[in-house]
Amino acid sequence: MDLWLVKTVGIILAVIGAVLIFAYVNTEVNLSIILLAIGSALSLAIVEFMALRYLAGKKLKHEGHHTCTRFAHLDLLSKSCVPAHV
């Protein structure tokens, strides 16, 4: 198991999250921050679909609620990180 990879991705996601929160709290949300949020969410969704495809190829049963959860996260991200005036 590649635990180092899991830890590395966790650190990267923590930094992205911290930047998004910092920008929101300081009302410094601009195009760069919006692109960071959207790009991060899309890349995580792509990784999730790749993992599901990998698991499907291994003939493992995997419930689809993880995919729905990812789309819910994308929806929440788009509503919570972008102020109404942007």
Q: Say which residues have a Cβ less than 8 Å from residue 49's Cβ, sequence separation at least 6.
A: 67
Angle, helices 3-25/31-57, rounded to nearest 10 degrees: 150
Distance CA 73, CA 67 (A): 10
Tokens of 68: 């729905």
- The rounded radius of gyration (Å) of the Cα atoms in the chain is 15
pLDDT confidence bin for 23, thresholds 50/70/90: very high
SS3 73: helix
Distance CA 60, CA 81 (A): 35
pLDDT confidence bin for 22, thresholds 50/70/90: very high
Assessment of whether the complete model's pTM goes beyond 0.95? no
